[in-house]
Amino acid sequence: MSKRIIFYELIGISLVAALILTSCNFAATPVALASATATPMALPDPVVPTATATAGLSVTDTGTPISTATPAPTEPATSTTSLIAQVNPGMNAYCRKGPGTGYYSITFLQVGTFYNVIGQNGLGTWWLVQVPPNLNCWMGDPTAVMQGPVDQAPVLLVPPLPGSPSGFANKYTCSATLHTLGVSLTWAVESNVTGYRIYRNGSLVGEVGPKIAAFNDKEAPLKAKLVYQLEAFNDLGVANRVKTTVPSCD
């Protein structure tokens, strides 16, 4: 082979190598990478599910954490309404100025009607009741029907009745010839008395004031046993009667 041919082959080989190297250098050029400080891609906000409102109710999120503690048991509500103390007479009954049959009656109570109780006596056998429209009086009836806290009604004091007169006695003068009978009655004065009433055989024959302690019966009948009764009274009522007896004048 001639030297010229070898020379040209070497030049061709060199050109091919140069092209190969140039091609490699172009491919090896690094691609610019994203900077490490590049702003990251913003992600969409997470979707928060909203509470579904119950029909007719408004749901509001206050941000307050829900307590899981067991609530303390609440006391049951106590009713402040209580029954009113009342009595219903078991029969038509008198209503009096005080707790006893010696007190004057001032009205009449109807059986089957309930009356409000505002007081009672110390034995719980008489009750101060309200009678419409604006009257208060005492009722005592063992057959009464009670409802409500009747036994808790306050015990009330009332002015006392007069005491029964003591020392009630008689002196009489019987004249069969003259057909006359004179009877003189005496007793001891009591306190808290407005006056005295004198009865003969159940009929009223006289009345005297609180300071008088004697009575003369000038019309006493003959031929009959006479029973005299003396009764002390005041504005509230009367005391138990005391009596004395005069034999028949024949």
Residue 48 pLDDT level (bands cut at 50, 70, 90): very low
Q: In whole angstroms, give the CA distance from residue 158 to residue 121.
A: 9
Residue 84 reports pLDDT greater than 80 = yes
Which residue's entry shows tokens 């006695």? 169
Instruction: Report how far Cα 48 is from the mean position of its chain's Cα atoms.
Output: 56
Type of residue at 248: S
Position 219 pLDDT exceeds 70? yes
Residue 233, pLDDT score: 98
To the nearest whole percent, how much of the chain has pLDDT over 90? 61
6 has pLDDT over 80:
no
- Per-residue pLDDT band at 227 (split at 50, 70, 90): very high
Residue 173 predicted with pLDDT over 50: yes
Categorize the per-residue pLDDT at 4 as very low, low, confident or very high, splitting at 50, 70 and 90: low
Q: What is the pLDDT of residue 64?
A: 42
pLDDT at 76: 47
User: Is this prediction's pTM over 0.85?
Assistant: no
CA distance 174 to 180: 6
Q: Which among 162, 103, 113, 88 has a CA at the least distance from the CA of 138?
A: 103
Query: 183 exposed, middle or buried (CB, 10 Å; 0-12, 13-18, 19+)?
Result: buried
> Does residue 205 contact residue 199 with C-beta atoms inside 8 Å?
yes
Structure confidence at residue 43 as a pLDDT band (50, 70, 90) = very low
Region 40-52 average pLDDT:
46
Q: pLDDT tens across 115-147, in order?
A: 999 999 999 999 999 999 999 999 998 899 999
Give CA–CA dist 129/98, Å, rounded.
11
Of 5-14, 97-106, 222-231, the one with minimum mean pLDDT is: 5-14
State the pLDDT at residue 79.
Answer: 43
15 DSSP β-pair partners: none
**Confidence band of 179 (pLDDT split at 50, 70, 90):** confident
Contact between 138 and 126 under an 8 Å Cβ cutoff? The reply is yes
Query: Which domains are present in the chain?
Result: 86-152 (2.30.30.40), 169-246 (2.60.40.10)
Residues 95 and 87: beta-carbon distance below 8 Å:
no
Answer yes or no: is pLDDT of 150 > 60.
Answer: yes
Q: Where are the beta strands (DSSP E) in the chain?
A: 86-88, 93-96, 105-109, 115-120, 127-131, 135-139, 145-147, 169-175, 180-186, 195-200, 203-208, 214-217, 226-233, 242-246
Q: What is the mean pLDDT of the chain?
A: 80
